[in-house]
Amino acid sequence: MKTVALILARGGSKGIPQKNIIDINKKPLLEYTITTAKKSNVEKVWVSTDCKDIKSVALNLGAEVLDRPKEFATDTSKSEDALIHFSKKVSFDFLVFLQATSPLVSFKDINKGLEMIYDKNKNYDSIFSAYKEHWLPRWSQDINPVNWEINKRPMRQDVEELFVENGAFYITTYKAFQKSSLRYSGKIGIVEMPFSRSFQVDTKDDLSLIKRLI
């Protein structure tokens, strides 16, 4: 069985220019995810990109690179478009889809997910990472409570905890992906990560926080 890791890293980020290779404590952001993936139980680490600078960084870090067509690297492109492109170019039995914007993920998290999907007794088709969230009162932008009532505010311990997808990684089988063209489908399992390692780099504020956490 062949297990590969794939990191999608396009070059056209607008919120933070060249976000995927921006300096984080003297290392390009992409390096953290590549290093983590190489420590995990995958056979090869791939980076899909449309950017020559990102390609150069990835190759220097020992990753394989798949040149992504521009039509799969626009602001409106879905990750699944790039995953489908990858699946047509590279053979695999299990795919670990990682995001460079989640540098706090550990190889142990990935390996836990792989152990779950390899387990024939559990028969998972897909796995994703998440953290558990305690209930907090949420409000809409027009200042209305969301899924609770002001005169019936519940106690936190009385509300079921929920899993929040943190975007760090997704694992799927080739068979499930070919059937659904989605990062997760069929019987789905969760690898729980702590909230403290679930932050993503999407804004400049996130960037400042990650620099302090790493």
Extract the tokens encoding 132.
Answer: 């558990």
Q: Which residues contact 108 (CB under 8 A, 6 or more apart)?
A: none
Taking phi over 0 as left and psi of -120 to 50 as alpha, with beta for the rest, 147 belongs to left
* List 10, 68, 138, 153, catalytic entry: 153
Which candidate, 66, 10, 57, 2, places its Cα nearest to that of 35?
57
Please confirm, yes or no, whether 153 is among the known catalytic residues: yes
99 forms bridges with which residues in the sheet? 8
By CB atoms closer than 10 A (0-12, 13-18, 19+), residue 107 is middle
Decide if 205 contacts 141 (C-beta within 8 A): no
Do the Cβ atoms of 93 and 3 come closer than 8 Å? Answer: yes
Q: Following CA atoms 77, 79, 83, 86 in sequence, which dihedral angle do they give, to the nearest 10 degrees? A: 60
3-state SS class at 109: helix
Question: Smallest Cα–Cα separation from 9: which of 106, 62, 82?
Answer: 82
Eight-class DSSP state of 133 = E
List residues with catalytic annotation. Answer: 153
